[in-house]
Structure 1
């Protein structure tokens, strides 16, 4: 207790700030906080405590630099920049974007790497280097304290807060004036590992070398999910184990096994459909015709609104417009742009009459070309991947399908403005979260073409099997030698040794897996957001005001606690781990904290002056 009492005495005049979870979002908030504090020339002592599960501050679990180089971003290099042009500027002068940084590191011209996809480990090194440079250039009055601990409990003491970690060492930390929660997927229940896992059921695949290393060669493996995480898991079980892909730079890859792979890998999901792969080329640079700024402003003014009745028709029209703009151009025709959709339809009908061989736009076929099939064959999925690869490599300027798929990337920012803070009625909110969120991710935010070619090569090598991709379930069977059975239609089944859950957890109403957020709820420090427009829907995220400040059980705003990033999803949409602009609560949080410190400093100076007078 002596050490704790001493720390409290030492910190009596110190303004204590905590950032819990220091992946990219925590790093961005830290950078903005330093910029705001330095710009105000504050002299009072400030301690910034950073809590992270591991030593990879700024990279977090997703971008930790010790992961395999085969695990690629789905985000082209030119889109990555950990710095911002906001005022006040960063406390250091050199703030390179990722392409600048990588060009110097790799001694490669920037023009050659902008549209490439780097490994997540490389991006992690970039983030950590920027973080370290900030830490090495702190103003003299700011002390940085890094804790490799997972925060599991919180208590409110007057206007301040105390934090506790898994170690339960009471009074180790000071009482905090301000806390920012940027807990990422960890706060949603993601079980990032710090030691080897040995079970037959793998609930979370990251880091892959710890989660999947025990799966022996020749095993039968089922993977629940067919998205980016599934691809990472498949490559971790094949290429990372020494297998090689021949034919780089060609249309088709061939896989040469190392002998350390599982015998078969069976991905399966609700739809059984792969994601649309991407190149690093830019999306179509053209104005939106139905999701215009004036339309978004109008929709925001009348919310809450129905997704299927009001917004979905606009999305379909915008996708159709993108599709036909490219298709018309392929036939040397010019579509006349007009905001009245009926006028566009008349053009489209005339076009198809003139060119009957041209494939019509179909929203239903766009989402699921096998919508009338309860199951899919291995060959159907493989052929569909080949088609998607062909369209991806044409680019959105040449492929109508690619242009239509990419439309969501162009309208998602505007839709986020409508969606955020209960912009949809409750039924629509539930419908979008459960049905359309994953669908739009599948068609718009897929893996690099390179990685999807690898999956196809593994399928042709007989290692990846799509025969259970759709319409399958998994059942544990303790009476057999296998861990369980993957069961499809018509009594088709496959014995499975290992089941991998390759789905990234999201906020849920039905459960709160994080001890920290359970503590917040139990003590009334926060509450879950509830959309009560028309019916009731609780997406599972904590409630907060439009500045990101947590709302307590009694409805009051917690001035001392704010949220940023994944913890806000459900109230916001698609936070994009690396984006500095999307749902940017960090900048306003940093500004408000700096103002609070400045106010306290002014009071301290005034009190000191008065004490000298008397």
Structure 2
């Protein structure tokens, strides 16, 4: 009889998903699909921890955002469901475009090539989650916690989680945990002290993070990427300003009077991102950067990025550039397997067409690489050029085709990059020098948004005069918050500084209390690339199944990672893709096999009693 009671007490399997944005939802969907497929009968309690009430959307896609905050991912790419086995427990699993078509309020937006508001995607994710929850098997209990997990403790083979303000034993001991938290550097996301600070370290949600900046203020923004654009729109369109297109097709901005007086952007390169349309990507097969060639490189570890991979990228970009340029002159590039054969075609082409602009890798990536500073006019003119090339599409613009090449090869490169595939020096080189560069040229904003930034510059609100070569120093006199300086001569006092750079895993700092706890207690350790040197990208160490590796080097079978926490060991996790770096499916299989084994052992105990 005692054995039967013990079996009953141990029957409930407690599972935790920490961080419940899209990645948390994907892991949950695979878990319940596996539970149903294996016909698990014993009770399973799945606890979801999220910083806010927007379960499945998280902070990035929360549905209360303004509609002017757009995706940089075309509608046709968005699907929160998967076609892998076992199937979802729902029969109706529409992708985003199909979902938009059946929504009376949004059906007009159901264009595959369009860029939807992030809030709309959040609504899609949350509705999909709600429908999934309504079909859960009776033995599954779902427990939602609007809490930020800050601490973890190992108890035998199980774990206890802790959140701020809760009693020590507020949650059960968990058998399995998956961490799908957002960027480690963001900590708990928006901080209340931002409301009065002159330094804003995190801009989301924009209404709250930037709402205290008064009209007429002078604002500096560090970073010139997607987050910068969101901040600019929140401070202008978000305050009642209006964009319109005049008869000549040029976008203009009408001020509301509530905007900052001037906004100064500065970044390391001073370059804006290449804007995107929703045009269908080029379908031409890769010539040099192929999966077979990457597999061959992986067999000869460690791989040098500069010596082995970068030359292949440049060759592939060269092919993309000239394939389109040749078309303009009614020539046809033969994509032969030897690059010398392609080079010969290029030289013959330029002999007959010396006026055609040659491919130049360095100048394409940074046309101002030899200029320490840039003027407002040069940057505005460059944005105009990027917009023209973007609207032509990758089939008509050699520049656009070149920049789109990274999107075509990134999945193949990820296979070589992941789990320390590069030597230590190359790993560091790519993370610090090329990761941001390729994001800038390949994953930029919708054309519409960059047109808005240009309109703000033409309206005198945005100033590019400090965009490159500037440093920001806090003003000790107290008259202003800080001073932006460029070239030791020109300077500008500012009232606020906004950090518009998305934080990445950092080898020397772990702001998140949860990951700090994991490191301090030896539950996990940082990953180190020791191939030919030592490089610590900042992410946690894990095996190829996503399971955390403890300080003693042993695989921690109770805790897995998925999404942003794996950035540094895997690449390009900040995406809605269910296929890229899919560690969720294996985690779900492992969890359900564990539960099935428990169920078998319990049945044996009951039979013995």
Shorter-chain TM-score: what band? over 0.9
Q: CA RMSD in A?
A: 1.5
Aligned to 2:87: 89
After TM superposition, give the deviation of residue 471 of structure 1 in Å.
0.2
Query: Which of 404-413 and 11-20 deviates more?
Result: 11-20
The separation in 2 between residues aligned to 1:206 and 1:473, in whole angstroms, is 24
Query: Which of 124-133 and 473-482 deviates more?
Result: 473-482
Alignment of 1:122 onto 2:128: no
Aligned to 1:143: 141
**Candidates 562, 574, 577, aligned match of 2:575:** 577
Ranges in structure 2 where 5+ consecutive residues have no aligned partner: 1-5
Alignment of 1:193 onto 2:224: no
8 Å contact kept, 2:246–2:252 = no
User: CA offsets per residue over residues 244-270 of structure 1, 9 Å max, x none?
Assistant: 001189742000000000010111000
Aligned pair in 2 of structure 1 residues 296, 248: CA closer, same or farther (>3 Å)? farther
Q: How does 1:542-561 map to 2 (within 5 A)?
A: 542-561=540-559
Q: How does 1:106-505 map to 2 (within 5 A)?
A: 106=104, 113-185=111-183, 187-193=184-190, 195=192, 197-247=195-245, 251-505=249-503
After TM superposition, give the deviation of residue 121 of structure 1 in Å.
0.5
Aligned pair in 2 of structure 1 residues 429, 287: CA closer, same or farther (>3 Å)? same
Query: Which of 97-106 and 340-349 deviates more?
Result: 97-106
User: CA offsets per residue over residues 38-75 of structure 1, 9 Å max, x none?
Assistant: 11111000000000011010000000011111000000
Aligned to 1:602: 600
Normalised TM-score (structure 1): 0.96
After TM superposition, give the deviation of residue 167 of structure 1 in Å.
1.5
SS in structure 1 of the partner of residue 431 of structure 2: helix
User: CA offsets per residue over residues 230-251 of structure 1, 9 Å max, x none?
Assistant: 0000000000100000118974
The separation in 2 between residues aligned to 1:131 and 1:112, in whole angstroms, is 21
8 Å contact kept, 2:100–2:109 = no
8 Å contact kept, 1:525–1:552 = yes
Aligned pair in 2 of structure 1 residues 163, 9: CA closer, same or farther (>3 Å)? farther
Ranges in structure 1 where 5+ consecutive residues have no aligned partner: 1-7
After TM superposition, give the deviation of residue 12 of structure 1 in Å.
3.7
The separation in 1 between residues aligned to 2:423 and 2:44, in whole angstroms, is 43
Aligned pair in 2 of structure 1 residues 108, 496: CA closer, same or farther (>3 Å)? closer
8 Å contact kept, 1:281–1:395 = yes
After TM superposition, give the deviation of residue 13 of structure 1 in Å.
2.1
Aligned pair in 2 of structure 1 residues 107, 214: CA closer, same or farther (>3 Å)? closer
8 Å contact kept, 1:24–1:577 = no
The separation in 2 between residues aligned to 1:404 and 1:126, in whole angstroms, is 33
After TM superposition, give the deviation of residue 29 of structure 1 in Å.
0.2
The separation in 2 between residues aligned to 1:496 and 1:191, in whole angstroms, is 27
Q: How does 1:530-549 map to 2 (within 5 A)?
A: 530-549=528-547
8 Å contact kept, 1:191–1:203 = no
Alignment of 1:79 onto 2:77: yes
The separation in 1 between residues aligned to 2:411 and 2:47, in whole angstroms, is 32
SS in structure 2 of the partner of residue 105 of structure 1: coil
After TM superposition, give the deviation of residue 478 of structure 1 in Å.
2.5
SS in structure 1 of the partner of residue 538 of structure 2: coil
SS in structure 2 of the partner of residue 254 of structure 1: strand
Aligned to 1:518: 516
User: CA offsets per residue over residues 58-99 of structure 1, 9 Å max, x none?
Assistant: 000000011111000000011000000011111111111000
8 Å contact kept, 2:270–2:467 = yes
The separation in 2 between residues aligned to 1:272 and 1:530, in whole angstroms, is 32
User: CA offsets per residue over residues 337-385 of structure 1, 9 Å max, x none?
Assistant: 1111111111101101101111100000111001110000000000000
The separation in 1 between residues aligned to 2:246 and 2:149, in whole angstroms, is 45
Normalised TM-score (structure 2): 0.97
SS in structure 1 of the partner of residue 103 of structure 2: helix
8 Å contact kept, 1:279–1:449 = yes
8 Å contact kept, 2:471–2:484 = yes
8 Å contact kept, 1:179–1:561 = yes
The separation in 2 between residues aligned to 1:280 and 1:249, in whole angstroms, is 24
After TM superposition, give the deviation of residue 106 of structure 1 in Å.
4.1
The separation in 2 between residues aligned to 1:458 and 1:227, in whole angstroms, is 16
SS in structure 1 of the partner of residue 150 of structure 2: strand
User: CA offsets per residue over residues 436-479 of structure 1, 9 Å max, x none?
Assistant: 00000000000000000000000000000000000001000120
SS in structure 1 of the partner of residue 297 of structure 2: helix
8 Å contact kept, 1:99–1:110 = no
User: CA offsets per residue over residues 201-244 of structure 1, 9 Å max, x none?
Assistant: 00000000110000000000000000000000000000010000
